[in-house]
Amino acid sequence: MTPENLTPVEIETPAAPCLCPRDLSASELGRRIKMMRVSRGLTLKDLEERGGISATHVSEIERGKASPTVGALGRIARALGMRPATLVEPHVLPEITVTRAEERPMLRMQLGAATLEPVTEPVQDAALGAQFITLPIGRGPAFTHRHEGEEWVTVMSGVAEIRVEGEAFVLREGDSLHFRAHRPHSYANLASNPAVLLVAARPRQTL
């Protein structure tokens, strides 16, 4: 079901108090909003156009640097095609999760030209996240990003070029790379077949 098929509900209050859910930290709310946005293939600019909220402000919210007002949350929810309550409902996650191989394709998301498949569902208070990343054929960067913490990657199949702040590392099947992720880094496929990588990041990313 696409966002256009949903009937969103927008909440507005004259005072627009700060929304600080007792059971949901600003960083977790931001990760949840980003996950919903990326899973729908929407950019920050798309949210700005759909919901009438600054892309810069949404970016701050997603990074946990700002807490949204009730009105802002309503506009974000409208842009995502969902109810605001869905974004702030407290989630109690299990301490152990299992993801079967046949279930994983249901969780696919896009990041630039790459396809991401989370290895498992997150556990409660997860600080580490991992996903399979498939790089399509094409020598240009499939995506470029940066974030706090660290990133570790192993090539499962194919040949990948990973650039960390301009320095290129060519990895083949079985090769690994570990680096501080605040430095801009990009992933590209150097072969004539898709490359599959296993990437883990700390803190957990929803990209």
| pLDDT of res. 105 | 65
Domain at 7, CATH number: 1.10.260.40
Domain at 136, CATH number: 2.60.120.10
Q: Give the pLDDT band (50/70/90) at residue 151.
A: very high
Query: Can you tell me the distance from the alpha carbon of 113 to that of 66, in angstroms, rounded to the nearest whole number?
Result: 29
User: What pTM did the predictor assign?
Assistant: 0.60
What would the pLDDT profile of 158-199 be if each residue is shown by its tens digit? 999 999 998 999 999 999 999 999 999 999 999 999 999 999
Burial code (b: 16+ CB inside 10 Å, e: under 16) for 67-84 equals bbbbbbbbbbbbbbbbbb
Element (H, E) at 133: strand 129-135
Domain presence at residue 207: no
In terms of domains, do 51 and 106 share one?
no
Domain presence at residue 66: yes
Of 133, 147, 134, the residue nearest 204 (C-alpha)? 147
Burial code (b: 16+ CB inside 10 Å, e: under 16) for 130-159 equals ebbbbbeeeeebbbeeeeeeebbbbbeebb
DSSP annotation of 68:
P
Q: Greater confidence, 3 or 26?
A: 26
What would the pLDDT profile of 45-72 be if each residue is shown by its tens digit? 999 999 999 999 999 999 888 888 889 9
Query: Can you tell me the distance from the alpha carbon of 55 to that of 47, in angstroms, rounded to the nearest whole number?
Result: 7
> Taking 70 as the threshold, does the pLDDT of residue 204 lie above it?
yes
In terms of domains, do 142 and 74 share one?
no
Burial code (b: 16+ CB inside 10 Å, e: under 16) for 36-52 equals bbbbbebebebbbebbe
Q: How many domains does the chain have?
A: 2
Whole domain around residue 112: which residue ranges?
A: 101-202
| pLDDT of res. 21 | 38
In terms of domains, do 117 and 62 share one?
no
In terms of domains, do 80 and 107 share one?
no
In terms of domains, do 156 and 105 share one?
yes
Domain presence at residue 95: no
In terms of domains, do 129 and 169 share one?
yes
Domain presence at residue 96: no
